[in-house]
A and B are shown apart, each in its own frame.
Chain A
Amino acid sequence: MLEDLFSMVKVRFNGDKTDDDTKKTDIPKGLLFKCPRCRNVTFSDEFNKNGKVCPVCNYHSRLSARERLDITVDKGSFREFDRYMISGNPIGFPDYEQKQIAMREKTGLKDAVLTGRAKIYNKDTVIIVMDSNFMMASMGSVVGEKITRAFEYATAHKLPVIAFTASGGARMQEGIVSLMQMAKTSGAVARHNEAGQLYIAVMTDPTTGGVTASFASLGDIIIAEPKVLIGFAGRRVIEGTINQKLPDDFQSAEFMLENGFVDMIVERKRMRRVLSHILRMHNYTGEVAAK
């Protein structure tokens, strides 16, 4: 699952690897965006102004959790839960601590998910945002625990949950403990569900593996961003099984819509309004619970 994600959708433009013989122009790093879907190259300015959406094919590329919160919730309304939680090393995996330290320094995150309480057009909600910059947002102890607590909080306070999912799947370095997070988070969704509260899953790039096979697929309403990757098994694994190349749109948001696993595809620029409408349709009209 993880293996091909890393190689497949990695945005890379090596402007500084110019070969003198070919007389290529030296392009400064970060000036251009090469879309991993349509492979067209556009100026980064244009791409960024477009909300990190490919202006050619409408692929909605990855956002950091902070960027996502900025465009989704009311300014200043996010109150983070469990912000200091960091992972242990449950199976004593070699170098896992060092890897985490390096990732924390690189991303400024403690692990691959932010959870908290926020408002969208003044309506209270619990929000979960995964960040693929941190170990491909694989689900280990911290991701599992924080998501479980977020659902438990929402159940106790009669709040909806909105989860922006993105993940390469289970966190291999945590072995079986990582697998158990699938059951744990799904259990927390079950209780929130039994309490009659709304859960909206928004699948973003990439939603795969153990996250697809647990809480991401359990939303009352499942939204996807255009052109993102959604699936269970890794593409290369399947190609290996059937011995042929898969079409480009296999495991895309559109593929999931066509096969009945996504309610709707919503563009980034409309997401905040759509979420707000859905909350209101479920009678979440304003301040819900005591703070």
Chain B
Amino acid sequence: MSELTASQRLDIIRHKGRPTVNDYIPRIFDRFMEMHGDRLFGDDGAIMGGIAYFKGTPVTVIAQVKGRDLAENQRCNFGMPHPEGYRKALRLAKQAEKFHRPVICLVDTAGAFCGVDAEKRGQGEAIAKNLMELMTLKTPIISIVLGEGGSGGALALAVCDELAMLENAIYSVISPRGFASILWKDPSREREACDIMKITAKDLTRLGVCDAIIPEAPGGAHNDPNVTANNISDYISKALERKLKKGLDELVNERYNKFRIVGEFKEPPRSSITG
């Protein structure tokens, strides 16, 4: 199981029985109460948010919704959020901060929606605002990539204290299809792109982006959503235990540094920086 290639994992996460947040939320949380709307424009079906108990502790859950059939997918726009989705996420995160609730983000999107209305309503601004605000949010944030973590649309829910990925999940700067289309002008070379992009949980652990890999049921999460949900639940318990004992300033500083150190560059020993 552990030595699958990225493109083999792509098959697993695209399996039509792959569990979605609609399967996981009831298995992991109790009394999930969904909260709607961004208070500015509307309610986006691609991002679901609300309050629930996690093992007795109130938490805010923010989750990207993928559908499993056409009707579900029409409601959630194939898991591709509009700006109002990101603004709803931010509203709920701010609410969590006010009431000292940890935030659990479940990431599962090919990317933010690309369309005329999304541009008119400021898709770029909505994502940017989330990155900035989540970076300084004074409450713990745990993000878990369930299937696909695509681009800025995923990152907008993944500025966090700890990032975990399901064993077969991928997280990338752009979908493999988009990557092939940009670099080779040929979207059909998706699988080839997949294997050079370094997008598996193991790759991202090596690159310092992923902090924990959550095992799936043997053969993939679709084989047993209960097992996978239990593993996610175990991970959240441990992660929250680690984060809740930190002071808020320490937490926010460590979050800043988690992202601050990512990058690979060279410069002469004595930098020319002034000051």
Report whether chain A binds chain B.
yes
Interface residues of A (CB under 8 A from B): 1-3, 79-94, 116-117, 140-142, 144-145, 148-149, 153, 156-157, 170, 172, 174-184, 186-187, 189-191, 193-194, 209-210, 212-218, 231-234, 237-238, 241-242, 246, 250-251, 259-261, 291
| Contacts A231-B124, A232-B124 given; does A84 touch B198 at CB 8 Å | no
Q: How far is the CB of B160 from chain A (nearest CB, A)?
A: 10
Report whether A175 and B124 are in contact in the complex, using a CB–CB cutoff of 8 Å. no
CA distance A80 to B271 in the complex (A): 11
Top-5 shortest CB links A-B: A88-B264, A212-B124, A233-B114, A141-B263, A186-B131
- Chain B, residues 48-79, CB within 8 Å of chain A (1/0): the string is 00000000000000000000000000000000
Q: Of all chain B residues, which has the CB nearest A186?
A: B131
Docked pose: A171 CA to B203 CA in angstroms: 18
User: Which chain A residue shows the least CB distance to B125?
Assistant: A217
Interfacial residues, chain B to chain A (CB-CB below 8 A): 112, 114-116, 118-125, 127-129, 131-133, 135-136, 151-152, 155-156, 158-159, 171-174, 178-179, 181-183, 185, 196-199, 203-204, 207, 209, 256, 259-260, 262-268, 271-275
Interface contact A144-B263, CB-CB below 8 Å? yes
Is A145 a contact partner of B265 (Cβ separation < 8 A)?
Answer: yes
What chain B residues lie within 8 Å of A170 (beta carbons)?
A: 151-152, 173-174
Contacts of B178 in A (CB 8 A): 237
Nearest Cβ in chain B — how far from A176, in angstroms? 5
CB distance from B84 to the nearest CB of A (A): 14
For B125, the chain A residues whose CB sits under 8 A away are: 212, 217, 261
Q: Is the CB of A183 within 8 A of B115?
A: no
Q: Which residues of B contact A145 (CB under 8 A)?
A: 263, 265
User: Is the pair A88, B265 in contact by a Cβ cutoff of 8 Å?
Assistant: yes
Q: Nearest-CB distance from B162 to chain A (Å)?
A: 14
* A242 in contact with B115 (CB, 8 Å): yes
